[in-house]
């Protein structure tokens, strides 16, 4: 149940970002950041799906690390767009940054647990 909840949060997060960026102004810098943020936010969700069918505990840890990498990239993109002051709705970008932070915290804890379980299994 929890795995599906996290998966749905990642999917909702990607969709929210996709819907939000459509409303951003047309500007060369924003075009570039739009492409980047779509790739990184959707990649986080897709890699989480891959982690669910990991071939080993080490493979799971590797894939969760990729999820975190993509979420960090998404956060930096959100911060850059926010600082460019091209977002017309600061409430929305702040909510996206908050959700990104919450997802990173979840995956940080997931990673710690997975690494601990791996160490126990190897002892």
Q: Which domains does the chain have, with CATH numbers?
A: 2-122 (1.20.1440.60)
Measured in residues, the chain has a length of: 123
pLDDT tens-place string over residues 9-51 = 999 999 999 999 988 888 888 888 899 999 999 999 999 999 9
Q: Measured between alpha carbons, how far is 24 from 86 in angstroms, rounded to an integer?
A: 7
pLDDT at 106: 96
CA distance 102 to 104: 5
CA distance 2 to 95: 22
Q: Above pLDDT 90, what percent of the chain?
A: 69
Distance CA 96, CA 60 (A): 26
Q: Kindly indicate the confidence band of residue 88, based on its pLDDT and cuts at 50, 70 and 90.
A: low
- Count CB-CB contacts under 10 A for residue 84: 14
Residue-averaged pLDDT of the chain: 91
């Amino acid at each position: 149940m929890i795995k599906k909840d996290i998966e749905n949060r990642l999917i909702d997060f990607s969709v929210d970002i996709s819907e939000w960026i459509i409303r951003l102004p047309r500007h060369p810098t924003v075009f570039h950041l739009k492409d980047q943020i779509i790739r990184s936010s959707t990649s986080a969700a897709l890699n989480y799906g891959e982690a669910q069918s990991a071939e080993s505990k080490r493979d799971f840890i590797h894939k969760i690390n990729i999820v975190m990498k993509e979420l960090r990239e998404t956060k930096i993109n959100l911060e850059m767009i926010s600082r460019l002051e091209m977002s017309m709705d600061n409430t929305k970008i702040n909510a996206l940054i908050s959700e990104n932070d919450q997802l990173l915290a979840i995956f940080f804890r997931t990673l710690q647990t997975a690494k601990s379980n791996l160490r126990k299994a190897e002892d």
